[in-house]
Amino acid sequence: MSQKRAGEFTFIDLFLSQFPRARVPVGPGDDCAVLAPSRGAQCITTDAVVEDVHFTRAWFSPEDIGHKALAVNLSDLAAMGSLPRWFVCALALPRDFSRRALLGLARGMSALAREHGIVLVGGNFSSARELSVTLTAAGELPPGSPPLTRAGGRPGDVLYVSGTLGEARLGLAQLQAGRRRSPAILRQKRPVPRIALGRLASRFASAALDLSDGLGQDLGHLCRASGTGAELDVEQLPVSRAVRASLGLEGALAGGEDYELLLAVPPGRTSAFERACLRAEESITRIGRLTPGPVGHIRVTGGRALRLPAGFDHFQDGGRIDRSKREG
């Protein structure tokens, strides 16, 4: 993490003090990290969390921000079926961001990093008007194991989703309404990357992606990449009573920031996949199937008419926080 202003070295040392020493040929403190070669293919992702887009400092603690910044990147690695290994972190800090807040951010991030065995190997600090945390994370696949992608689905494949849908959006609505604690708010602040499920699914699934912009939109991404349509049984969607009552099924489909996994599994592997998930105590729900087409077209079943929402778009909807304020 190279810096120009002497005062910033104090922040760098403070941040790094919360992470274990990286066991790599060259780690933090040089111009580049140097990593040992791997026998498996590498999966690389980058994502950012930005103040007033993904969080506000009035609602999120520094620990929440650090956790979420790493979690959204780990979720991408989970969707590929990869094992997390290394990450670099670029922090843009406003002038009023204190040493105590920086320690909190590092602690939230390092706790999740330890949980999933991923190591900080470098990064950068700079000043900015708003707080932003940009991570690039790397994972690796077992030798000879192909990655899960969005493009591998075929007509007839069964669709599964992990966990429950719409909780993060409900949590954001509750924060906007003045609440500060609830299970849904925890889902908004501390998403859980499904690393173990991604590794398990890599043995069975044909395609996958993580749900960052809502099932309604992300299922369309998988269909277009795979050249298929889809049939979605909305009565089977894993949606809590609280989400149904507050957002309805359409709101759950447009939720965004669930960071659950959407998986397509060939019909001949579904029984083995479900047994493996049961043994591993991974929560999955069968929600539909891929169809021959038209490409990208999603047909809703389950005995009711439902409009599939478009989901979240950074460049049309503005920030997630801003959108919540408008909707509230």
283 is in an annotated binding site: no
Among candidate residues 258, 139, 145, the one with its CA nearest the CA of residue 201: 145
Is 150 annotated to bind a ligand? Reply is: yes
Distances (CA, A) of 161 to 8, 122, 166, 324: 43, 34, 12, 25
Q: What is the dihedral of CA 296, 302, 303, 309, to 10 degrees?
A: -40
320 is in an annotated binding site: no
73 is in an annotated binding site: no
233 is in an annotated binding site: no
Q: Is 134 annotated as a binding residue?
A: no
Q: Is 130 annotated as a binding residue?
A: no
Q: Is 260 annotated as a binding residue?
A: no
317 carries a ligand binding annotation: no
Is 213 annotated in a binding site? The answer is: yes
Q: For the chain, how are helix, strand and coil distributed in percent, rounded to 5?
A: 40, 25, 40
Contact (CB, 8 A) for 138 and 70:
no
Strand ranges of the sheet holding 158-162, from the earlier edge strand across to the other edge: 207-210, 261-265, 158-162, 284-291, 229-233, 298-301
Question: Angle at Cα 228 formed by Cα 74 and Cα 213, nearest 5°?
Answer: 35
Check whether 212 is labelled as a binding-site residue: yes
Give the annotated binding-site residues for substrate: 54, 257, 312
Binding-site residues, in ranges, read 31, 45-47, 54, 76, 123-124, 150, 210, 212-213, 257, 312
Residue numbers belonging to the annotated binding site for Mg(2+) = 31, 45-47, 76, 124, 210, 213
**Residue list for the binding site for ATP:** 123-124, 150, 212
